[in-house]
Homo-oligomer: A and B are copies of this chain.
């Protein structure tokens, strides 16, 4: 096993790309990442995608995108783990390069969620739940998150307004990220008046399904260092899983997989939560951000919301999150989201986050959740 580094990043704007196909979005992100990486070949392409088959009628994105971006012939595959698909694709690339099976791996997360609306879109997104025991009864991933939030409010005596801190922080940070979907600011007053989507999750709490692509190129750290280009080392890469169905989990208010993958990652990196300077968490809904803060050890159990409300997640807080907008402010392009997290963490560590720059950021954690925590994929990035 050898150290691996990120030597190139790229991303498209996140939004409703009705006039741009999956392959064109992927091309845009890959072109930027590949130009930065500047390597003479790519050994493997790993595509993170969740719903192209259901919503765009397109499978086998590995071969399709490899061909379209000028890599015809290269080893290529698509990786899926619901909304953690992007993180899962990164993980496969890390396995290949860290194990010495490949030198240069390209990862692209790409998704188009806005072309199809209404029940067909909801049905597609519900494939992330347990089809036989959850979706069959009409529940969707967001409805499950809503039940988790209701339980959180009950157990920890939290009010709707208490959750506003997450979305306010996300939108504030997205406002100065040119790639983000939303540039409007939120307030507690506007948050609590927003129309309900899945009570108690409202429009300003739920991340918007969107279109976009993000890409990274991974190489051995020794090789990257010899070139001396300020690459970002991946100090940890860890996956854990839990039951899909929320009713099957030991505790609906504890993200067991998120905790397990974070702690595996800490062990790999030889760190604790205290060593992390900022985190890109899976804030598809505020309650998930709160539970992720707790599972990763950034906040005590039941204190995730208070931690946010007290400013702990702000740019100058103890553990800044969603530093470029997160899922809520940047937008949530499904299987691309997990790769956006890595791209944004690399931006921070390179000092390329512009007005969003976290001062002295040297260690960043990213965590991608699939199906409200059934899959959790944690990476820790370090600027040495």
| A residues in contact (CB < 8 Å) with B | 1, 21, 23, 44, 50-54, 56-60, 62-64, 66-67, 72-82, 88, 91-92, 95-96, 98-102, 123-124, 126-128, 130-132, 135, 238-244, 248, 256-257, 260, 370-371, 374-375
Contact = CB atoms under 8 A, between A and B. Distances in A.
A75 B135 contact: no
Contacts of A242: 63, 67, 72-73
13 contacts: A51-B53, A60-B127, A60-B374, A60-B375, A72-B243, A74-B240, A75-B240, A77-B80, A77-B88, A77-B239, A78-B80, A79-B80, A96-B99
Given A73-B240, A73-B257, A99-B99, 14 more contacts: A52-B127, A60-B81, A62-B88, A64-B374, A66-B241, A67-B241, A67-B248, A72-B241, A73-B242, A73-B256, A77-B239, A78-B79, A80-B80, A100-B100
A370 B60 contact: yes
Report copies per complex: 2
Contacts of A256: 73
A112 to B, nearest CB: 11
Contacts of A21: 132
A56 B131 contact: yes
Contacts of A23: 132
Nearest to A239: B75
Contacts of A44: 239
A57 B374 contact: no
Contacts of A76: 81, 239, 241, 375
B62 A81 contact: yes
Contact of A63 (B52, B54, B81): B81
Contact of A241 (B62, B128, B375): B62
B92 A127 contact: no
